[in-house]
Structure 1
Amino acid sequence: MTQQRKKKLYFTIVFIAVGLLAFQVSLSKLVGSNVNFTLFDAFGPITAAFLGTLPGIIALIFIQGINFLIHGAQVIDAGTVIRFFPMLFAALYFARKTKWNIIIPLLAMLAFNLHPIGRSAWYYSLYWLIPVAMYFLQNKYLLARSLGATFTAHAVGGAAWVWAFGLSKEIWTGLIPVVAFERAMFAVGIAVMYVLVNNLVHALMAEKAKEANLGLEPKYLYKKI
C-alpha cells in the first residue's frame, strides 16, 4: 500500500467515525415512518467531495451499515431500508458535476408520477427540478451545490416513499411548505459543514491531507493554502 493510500485510508476511517457520531444527533422525524433526520444528513453529502467519489460512497455505506448494527440491526419498516440510499445520491451530486446530477432527479420525478397517488400530487415532484437547475450553478456557488445535493436525496427518497407507503394526496400537498423549510435548512447545513470541515482539516491535519490528496477547496479556507 502506497503512502498516499495509507493516508486516504486514515481519513476515510476518521470520516466514518465522525459520520457515526453525526448519526446520533436527531433533528426531526419523517412523516409516515419512525425514521429520524439526523446531523448526518448535513455531514453525509460532503464525504465524497473530500475522499473522492468511490471512497466517499463506500464510507457512507460503512457508516450507515455500522449505525444499523449499533441500533440492533432491526428493520423497523420500509423507511429504514429506503433511508439507506438517498444519501449516496446526495454525495454523488455534491462530489462533482456530472450528467447524473440531472438524470437522477428526472428519473425520480418519472417514478413518482407513475404511482397513482404520486400522479395526483404531481406538483410535489416539481421540487426535483431544483437539482437540475442547480447543476448549472453548482461549480460557482456552494449553496447551489448544497441545494442540488439535498434535493437529489429528497427526490430519490420521495420516489421510493410513494411506492412504499403511498400516503395521500393531502399529505403530500401538506408537506410542500415543510419541505421548503426543511431542505433550505439542510442546504445551509451542508454548506456550513463543508466550510467547517475544510477549515478544521486544514488547521489540524494540513500536511496529512495534502499527502492523502484530500479534496480541500482553497476558496473556502479562512487561511488560504
Structure 2
Amino acid sequence: MRVSSIKYQVSSIYRRKTLVLVIFVAIGIIALQIPINVLAGAKVKFTLFDLFAPISGMFLGSAIGAVAVVAMQIVNLIVHGFREVQTDSFIKLLATLRFLPLVLGVLYFSVGKSYSSSERSESRSSRNSSRPFGTTQGKQARTIAKAVLLVPLLSILAFNVHPIGRTVWYYSLFWLIPLAVWPIRSRFLLARALGSTFTAHAVGGAVWIWAFNLPAAVWVSLIPIVALERSIFALGIAASYILVNNLIAILSTKNLLFKSVKVDRRYVVKLLH
C-alpha cells in the first residue's frame, strides 16, 4: 500500500511539473508568431518570444528553461522553415539562429532567483537542515553567476577587437548594464529584466558585427534605437514575469502544481494571496 502511495505521489509530481512545461511551451509558441521588430542587416525578427523567453528559467530551472527555449525555437523553425537562417558561414548561422543570446538571457534572469523575505528565510532553513546539498547548490549557483557575468565582458572584447567595432567602441558600453544592475537584481524586477535583455543584446551584437560587418554609421544610428528598444524589452520581460507568476499562483491555489514551482509573492495580485 505504501509503495503504491509513493508511486502515485511521484506520478503526481511529474504531471504537475509537466503541466508547467506545457504552459510555457504553449505560451512560447504563440509568442513566436507575433513579430515586434526586425534585426538590422538580416531578415530575422524579434517577436514577443524575446520578452517571454528570459523568464522561463525562473519557473522551470535554469537548465530546463534554456533547453525549453531552444526547443521552442527549433519547433518554430521546423514549422515556418529556415528562410530567415543564413548558412553562408558558421558565424552567420550562429547569428541568425539566435539560440545563444536567448539562452544566456535566460541564465542571467534565473541565476540567483528572487523571492520574498519569508521565502528566503524558508530557503535558509531548508539549507541548514541539509547542509551538504545546500553548500553544493550554492557553489554551483556562484559558478554559473560568474560565468554569466563574463558574458557581457567577453562580448565587449569581441566587439572591440573587430576593425569596425573599435571605431564605435562606445556602442558596447550598453553591455556594462548587466554588470551595473547585478547587485540590485534580486530586489528590483526591472533591474533583473534589464540585465537579461542587455546580456542577450551583448552576445547578439558581438556575433552580429563579425557575421555581417555592418558599417560604423549603422551602429551609431542604432544607439538611440537600442536604448528605446531594450527599455521596452525590459518592461515586457518584467510584465511577462508578473503575468506568469500570477498564473502559476492561480494554478497553485487550485492544487494543480507541485510546491517546488516557486511563486514570488511580491508580484502576486493581493486577491490571490
Band of TM-score, shorter chain: over 0.9
User: Are the aligned partners of 2:43 and 2:84 in contact in 1 as well (CA < 8 Å)?
Assistant: no
TM-score normalised by L of structure 2: 0.78
- Does the 8 A contact of 1:42 with 1:193 survive in 2? yes
SS of corresponding position for 2:256:
helix
**Aligned mates of 1:30, 1:73 — CA distance in 2:** 16
Range with bigger deviation, 8-17 or 189-198:
8-17
1:96 Cα deviation after fit: 1.7
TM-score by length of 1: 0.94
Structure number with larger C-alpha Rg: 2
Match of 1:88 in 2: 103
The equivalent of 2:29 in structure 1 is 20
Q: Which residue of 2 aligns with 1:127?
A: 174
**Aligned-partner Cα distance in 2 for 1:5–1:113:** 47
Q: Is the 8 A contact 2:44 2:84 kept in 1?
A: no
Mapping for residues 59-208 of structure 1, pairs under 5 Å? 59-74=68-83, 76-77=85-86, 78=92, 81-97=96-112, 98-206=145-253, 207-208=255-256
**2:261 is the alignment partner of 1:214:** yes
Unaligned residue ranges in structure 2 (runs of 5+): 1-6, 87-91, 113-144
**CA deviation after TM superposition for structure 1 residue 17, in Å:** 1.4
RMSD of aligned alpha carbons: 1.6
> Residue deviations 1:177-197, cap 9 Å, x none?
000000000000000110111
Q: Aligned in 2, Cα 1:176/1:75: closer, same or farther, shift over 3 Å?
A: closer
Alignment check: 8 A CA contact 2:152 2:202 kept: yes
Give the distance between the partners of 1:222 and 1:92, measured in 2 at CA. 26
Deviation per residue, 1:43-85 (Å, 9 max, x gap): 0000011111111111111100100101124453236634222
Please say if residues 37 and 46 of structure 2, whose CA atoms lie closer than 8 Å, have aligned partners that are also in contact: yes
- Once the two structures are TM-superposed, the CA of residue 6 in structure 1 deviates from its matched residue by 3.0
- Identity value in percent: 44
Mark the runs of 5 or more structure 1 residues left unpaired by the alignment: none
Q: Is the 8 A contact 2:178 2:198 kept in 1?
A: yes
What do the CA deviations read for 1:119-167 (whole angstroms, capped 9, x no partner)?
1111100000000111111001000000000000000000000010010
Alpha-carbon distance, 1:205 to partner: 4.6
CA distance in 1, matches of 2:262, 2:214: 41
Question: In structure 1, what is the equivalent of residue 134 of structure 2?
Answer: none
